[in-house]
Amino acid sequence: MYKKIHLHHLLESAARSYPDATALVDAERKVSYRELDAAADELYKQLKALSVGTTDRIAIYTNKSAEFVSAIFATLKTGAAYVPIDYSAPAERNLFIIENCDVKALIVHKKFQHLFIDSYTLISELPGELLLLKNNKTQLLPSPDDLAYILYTSGSTGKPKGVMYTHAAAMEFINWSSDTFLPTPNDCFSSHAPFHFDLSVFDLFVCIKHGAKLILINEEMARQPMLLAQLISEQKITIWYSTPTILNMLAAFGKMQKYSYEKLRLILFAGEVFYIHPFKILKQYWPAPDYYNLYGPTETNVCTYHKVADDLSVYTSTAFPIGKCCEHYSGKILNDTNDVTGELCIGGSGIMLGYWQAEEKNNAVFFKEGNILFYKTGDLVEKDEQDDLIFKGRADRMVKRNGYRIELAEIETLLHQNPEIISCAVLSSFDKNNAATTITAFVCCISEAGESVIGMKEYCMKHLPVYMIPDTFIFLKELPQTASNKTDLQQLKKRL
Amino acid sequence: MEQKISEIKNNVRGFISQNYLQTIKAGELNDSTPLISGGIIDSIATMKLVNWLEKNYNFEFAAHEVDRDNLDTIERIANFVVTKTSV
């Protein structure tokens, strides 16, 4: 029997095969595979000395850098699961996540040290980060077997929820990616998505599996199209993966004509719908690469894909189809009687293990058919004549912005905690021409003094990630109600 | 010069209020209100502002100049525009 491959084995194997090849390039420096593996080993020893092991979780809360990557691999080497924290999100939300997943230790940027003084002990100073150990007052919850990482996404109850992934499930996706996109050690991958976002699983592990080069794009640069266009050209990136929002920003504001992009061979996009009209603008600048539309919630990672046809006139709809099920998955459409539209369910061993500490929620999203476990995505789909899946919207109140999931209820819960606000309702609208989701908050305040757009935005900025902040605040004396005394969302919708 | 700066400030204030703060009360957006760090303009809005500034004042941003140091308040924007256009 051969040994089961874990995610950190990918780095160890690349470090043996390509020790001197560049593994990472960040804003500061280049790191070879030998150096990256050695840095991860160094930190691994420190974690082992704290008896970190397979039942534990380690949160990593720092900026996107080579240090973040070595912390991920050090954690995986101990058998513990890594929990990447959104460096740019408000501290309060991050503290909830760190508390919720009950970490044993924390690798944190020095600028956040003050947040952890009471309940953590400083173990050592790393180059830019600190290693902190949780003061052990109670028994920590044990991780399930083989857990590799937990990624937190917006939750409809008002708090983020943790999606658990095992090494085995992650490897299914990584191997599928290898078979589909055929990367080589000569490739240069972008790492645009932050590590708490599931797109990063492709960037990190597929790149490292093949001994290719990974260009880490930090938080400031990630949303600045002029710098991105320059970077793609200068670093000779060959494989780019991001949300359509970022590709649209590049095409619209990147001053793309200033540079050349001969090496670019593959563009992958995921996280939200890409409309064909803005895509055409992008393709004018980048005519040569192959383009793929990848689809999948964090709970399945990529589960369907569609290769964009060279001739765009074959598309009669306004958006690309999400395509066919990945080879390692099987798909099912759950629908009522004669309806062609139904909820997409994805089955196979590549899906998440479940939500961290959320038994009830897990029971609601999984079902078994034969030996196959299926996940109910909540996304409505139907099939076109080519048997390709078409995305038709959501069954619930989740919306997406730049690929991030936003539960409108999470924003409402937060607004209700503002003492100025008596009641509120948050709605979204979608503008197809600009491919933009707009979030509008209807708010009733105690007094007129509270009715300040800037004040509301500042309040949200303190408590929510930027992508969740409503674009518009409309102040009302009272919210319209339905006959059954619920907020009349239909009535409010007319005002968007 | 003073007159030019205050004219730029008012134009920028008008652009931001009209596009991103439709329900704002008069006088709420002042020269030092944090725009990016205060959640008023996101990255797409920032790029639209950059485009608008380039067209209106006839200069070009270098890639590294699109940042909070130059764009986070109306005050900073006006100063930056003056520096870029007075050479």
User: Quick one: closest CA in B to A222, which residue?
Assistant: B43
**Residue A358 backbone class (left: φ over 0; alpha: ψ -120 to 50; beta: rest):** beta
Report in angstroms the alpha-carbon separations of A380 from A157, A343, A409.
21, 5, 20
Q: Do B43 and A224 touch (CB under 8 A)?
A: yes
The yes or no reply on domain B2-85 and CATH 3.40.47.10 is no
Nearest to B25 among A255, A452, A472 (CB): A452
The whole-model pTM stands at 0.91
Q: Do B63 and A224 touch (CB under 8 A)?
A: yes
Q: Do A460 and B44 touch (CB under 8 A)?
A: no
Q: What is the ipTM of this complex?
A: 0.89
Separation CA A51–CA A41 (nearest Å): 15
For A151-182, what is each residue's pLDDT tens digit? 999 887 788 999 999 999 999 999 999 999 99
For A62-95, what is each residue's pLDDT tens digit? 999 999 999 999 999 999 999 999 999 999 999 9
Q: Do A220 and B20 touch (CB under 8 A)?
A: no
Nearest to A474 among B23, B43, B44 (CB): B23
Report in angstroms the alpha-carbon separations of A382 from A207, A339, A345, A390, A429.
33, 9, 12, 5, 22
For A412-465, what is each residue's pLDDT tens digit? 989 999 999 988 999 999 877 777 889 999 999 988 888 999 999 999 999 999
- Which residues in chain B are closer than 8 Å to A461, comparing Cβ atoms? 37-39
Q: Which of B47, B68, B73 is the best substitution to test chain A (most A C-beta atoms within 10 A)?
A: B47
- Which residues in chain B are closer than 8 Å to A460, comparing Cβ atoms? 39
For A238-289, what is each residue's pLDDT tens digit? 999 999 999 999 999 999 999 999 999 999 999 988 989 889 999 999 999 9
Indicate whether A137 pLDDT > 80. Answer: no
Q: Which of A220, A224, A246 is the best substitution to test chain B (most B C-beta atoms within 10 A)?
A: A224
The residue to which tokens 């720092």 are assigned: A62
Q: Do B38 and A249 touch (CB under 8 A)?
A: no
On whether any CB of chain A is under 8 Å from the CB of B51, the answer is yes
On whether any CB of chain B is under 8 Å from the CB of A382, the answer is no
On whether any CB of chain B is under 8 Å from the CB of A394, the answer is no
Q: Do A458 and B39 touch (CB under 8 A)?
A: yes
Backbone angles phi, psi at A34, to 5 degrees: -60, -45
Separation CA A425–CA A427 (nearest Å): 7
